[in-house]
A and B are shown apart, each in its own frame.
Chain A
Amino acid sequence: MEWLEKFNKVFESKIRLGLMSVLVVNDSLSFNELKELLQLTDGNLASHLKALEEIKYIEFQKQFNGRKPLTTYKATEDGHKAFTEHLQVLENMIKQNL
């Protein structure tokens, strides 16, 4: 089972995979936009974002929108690469099992 070894553990969670896929196609998204897209609670989203951040798949930027803090997230180069590889693995898996 070669494909199992390549299977990226980080993306085992649907939420993290969803977060990554959204950040890959968009330049940058704010915390609130992510929350709305994935229909998550603040705490849940924050913990998953933190997990992705720790392995440097995404990076964030804090700025102020008037008085309100605005955090925007971005996928890093590593994140892009890891995500594409993971998609490839998924695809291969489907092909092999067909």
Chain B
Amino acid sequence: MNPNQDSLHTLNEIRDLMERSSKFLSLSGLSGVFAGIFALIGAGAAYVRFKTDWLTEILAPLGTYQGHSREDVIDFLFVDGLCVLVSSLAVGIILTVRRGRKKGLTVWNGSSKRLLIAMLIPLATGGIFALAMLHYGFIWLVFPVTLLFYGLALVNASRFTYPEVFYMGISEIGIGCIALFLTGYSLIFWAIGFGMLHIVYGLTMYNRYEREKLPSGELPGGRRSGGKSGLAIVLLVLASGSVCLAQVRMPSDSTASKARKWYDKETIYLRNGNSFVKNNVVYAGQKALRNEFMVSPEGLGLYLKSRRTRSIGLIISLAGSAGSVISLLSGNRDHLKTFFWISVGTGLVGSGFTMAANNQRDQAVWIRNRDAMLFLEANQ
């Protein structure tokens, strides 16, 4: 055998063995998503239970507040937190065991033990610390502290599992630090840290390691791991899921599917300014757009009208801003007030015209697409 290939193969095998023996790689991404959902439910329950008085209770450190008693709050939070923890752990363990079996790895081995110990030391310390704070009545500090210690546990455990866990730990610590100083929003930060971050992390891991292959065009945001894209990912997953369902339901060779194909091929939609999309291709230019409108004289007329309206709006608002610039430069105080109102007025009128232009343009595209469908029969 070629010695080069052979040694490359050997090196790969060594790497694989090293990873398998030292890292716990059965951790399921979906369990992160579930943990996040449970945390959001828990945070929601706490919010519904105490509404706003709950926050005032927390913000009154010496407990002069009447209503729900302090013990009430502590008991509820304790039970709430315990429920979230137990349900997330249960689902996490079930999913992880299932995934481990699928990959042919045992779940309870040296690496998972090490992972657990690495996580448990900071977590247990943090748990005891949080209990002590509950005991002394520092309820408003418990939320950031749980975030901080959880983040430390993740950073500590990241050596024994996927490297992404490290970044999640750092983010938890960051959110915890912010929450330390914005105590009024501790529940929100807690929901972001335990809920949103888990969901984002879980989906990222699921896409990266568990799903076999991404279907094309689906989940463009799935690879990003930034915190902001969390909601977008969730929405995208829902949206793409429903699109898939819709496509599955469509019979492959019916009139509806023909019409749909035709619609996909022939219709257009406009994007910023002069560019438009037809059959998933972006075209640009006034001339091309006008050609597209040739199938529908009515649509073309309306489109030209919308352009005129837009130009009028643009001229008015430009005149307004020119006026305000001149008035500012002139330094004449008497004129300033007049010009101010004129610029506000022109701005409003200008946006009114722009809105009307948008309506006309949307209608024009709609008419054009309807007229494009007329050729369906003829071209079949």
Q: Which residues of chain A have a CB within 8 Å of any CB of chain B?
A: 14, 17-18, 21-22, 24-26, 29-30, 33, 36-38, 87, 90-91, 93-94, 97-98
Contact = CB atoms under 8 A, between A and B. Distances in A.
B8 A36 contact: no
A38 B20 CA distance: 10
Interface string B155-171: 00000000000000000
A90 B14 CA distance: 12
Interface size class of B (residues with CB under 8 A): 10 to 19
Nearest to A36: B106
A90 B18 contact: no
A94 B22 contact: no
Given A93-B3, A94-B4, A97-B4, A37 B17 contact: yes
A70 B13 CA distance: 28
SS class of chain A's interface: helix, strand, loop or mixed?
helix
A29 B4 contact: no
Contacts of B322: none
Given A29-B21, A37-B21, A18 B14 contact: yes
A37 B20 contact: yes
B110 A26 contact: yes
Contacts of B8: 94
A37 B276 CA distance: 57
B11 A90 contact: yes
A97 B109 CA distance: 39
Interface string B13-37: 1100110111000000000000000
B21 A91 contact: no
B380 interface: no
Give the most central of B4, B10, B21: most A CB within 10 Å: B21
11 contacts: A21-B14, A21-B17, A22-B17, A26-B110, A29-B21, A29-B110, A33-B21, A33-B110, A90-B7, A90-B10, A97-B3
Given A90-B7, A94-B4, A18 B106 contact: no
B126 to A, nearest CB: 26
B137 to A, nearest CB: 43
Contacts of B22: 25-26
A59 to B, nearest CB: 18
Contacts of A38: 17
Contact of A21 (B3, B7, B18, B110): B18
Nearest to A29: B110
Given A26-B22, A36-B106, A18 B17 contact: yes
| 9 closest cross-chain pairs (CB), A and B | A97-B4, A22-B21, A21-B14, A25-B22, A90-B7, A25-B18, A37-B21, A18-B17, A93-B7
Given A17-B10, A21-B14, A93 B21 contact: no
Interface string B99-123: 0000000100110000000000000
B21 A25 contact: yes
B109 A36 contact: yes
Contact of A14 (B4, B13, B21): B13
